[in-house]
A = this chain, B = another copy of it.
Amino acid sequence: MNDLAITPADIEAAAQRLHGVAHRTPVLTSHTANTRAGAQVFFKCENFQRMGAFKFRGAYNALAQFTPEQRLGGVIAFSSGNHAQAIALSARLLGMPSVIVMPADSPAAKLAATREYQQGQAHSEVVLYDRYTQDREAIGRQLAAERGMTLIPPYDHPHVMAGQGTAAAELLAETGALDLLLVCVGGGGLISGCAVAAHQQSPGIQVIGVEPEAGNDTQQSLARGEIVHIDTPKTIADGAQTQRSGDLTFPVIQRLVKGIVTVSDAQLVRTMKFFAERMKMVVEPTGCLGAAALLEGVVQARGQRVGVIVSGGNVDMARYADFLSSD
């Protein structure tokens, strides 16, 4: 794996940095899930991670490796999703400023949550931009230059990828060898880190990625042998509305991921209900991708030991209530 962006040693080092800072999230099982899949299923519950998603792992691992100069300047990130909150929280824990650049029309709850994570940390703020008239890259470049800030992207960064891989590393340390690991795919940060960890700890494991039907760019990319760029997909899985894999994540996926399957929004909603009703967990639509592929029969795993990464649980409560009460 030497020519890939990360190695198993990077993930072990990330695990050291995260020790005592990130939650070691529980691995839960369900007799109903086992029966339905005809398999032994282990859910790694990153919805119980700090700030509600695996993104904390990668963000903290990246920021913890800043030089003293970088710490002084702080971190900048573009995001209206889980990456924003992960960066804001990690920066505060490490005592550095953070600027999160978000669209002015982001949901009020997300703005509030991000600001809450920045609380008490000097020189930290949310900078709003008009997504129709302003260029967020230009805003970012200007802020970075003026304030000496370092940009951390949401997935295409070795430290981010290595941090995300600790989720699979913890899962496998708890379960022992698995036959199959199902991971949701957006930009590929989570699955690339998890694939490296999984192949190290469980030789022979098959890692399969799951994308929303409407946003199967990585599936297309694997078929074409090069990164395919798509329009922003329309799906309830907002964490997987990426337009393309990363330059660093895609080669890892090519090498270590067996294949990509897709699931529909209707399958995600049914899986969200399954998690609420049977496993008593709030899981956001993106977090349901891996489980949906298994429970809806898209992936066959009869008789196998299967790991599923449940990536996060950040979903607006009114929207969530609508999902639960829909037919």
In the complex, residue of chain B having the shortest beta-carbon distance to the beta carbon of A279: B48
* CB of A313 closer than 8 Å to a CB of B: yes
User: Which of the residues B273, B277, B282, B324 comes within 8 Å of A281, measured between beta carbons?
Assistant: B282
| A contact face: mostly helix, strand, loop, or mixed | helix
Cα A281 to Cα B45 in complex, Å, equals 11
Cα A26 to Cα B313 in complex, Å, equals 17
Residues on the B chain within 8 Å of A317, using CB: 273, 276-277, 324-325
Copies of this protein in the assembly total: 2
* CB of A283 closer than 8 Å to a CB of B: yes
Cα A223 to Cα B277 in complex, Å, equals 39
Residues on the B chain within 8 Å of A282, using CB: 276-277, 280-282
User: Which of the residues B273, B313, B318, B324 comes within 8 Å of A280, measured between beta carbons?
Assistant: B313
Q: Is the CB of B47 within 8 A of A280?
A: yes
In the complex, residue of chain B having the shortest beta-carbon distance to the beta carbon of A50: B31
User: Which of the residues B48, B283, B313, B324 comes within 8 Å of A320, measured between beta carbons?
Assistant: B324
Q: Is the CB of A280 within 8 A of B48?
A: yes
Residues on the B chain within 8 Å of A138, using CB: none
Cα A52 to Cα B277 in complex, Å, equals 9
Residues on the B chain within 8 Å of A277, using CB: 282, 317
Cα A313 to Cα B275 in complex, Å, equals 12
Residues on the B chain within 8 Å of A28, using CB: 26, 48
* CB of A321 closer than 8 Å to a CB of B: yes
Cα A247 to Cα B321 in complex, Å, equals 41
Cα A281 to Cα B276 in complex, Å, equals 8
Specify which of A23, A31, A320, A321 lies most central, judged by the most chain B CB atoms within 10 Å of its CB. Answer: A321
Pairs A-B, 10 closest by C-beta atoms:
A280-B313, A321-B325, A26-B26, A321-B321, A280-B282, A321-B324, A47-B280, A317-B324, A276-B282, A318-B325
18 CB contacts below 8 A, A to B, read: A26-B26, A28-B48, A31-B50, A48-B279, A48-B280, A276-B282, A276-B320, A277-B317, A280-B281, A280-B282, A280-B313, A281-B281, A318-B325, A320-B324, A321-B321, A321-B322, A321-B324, A322-B325
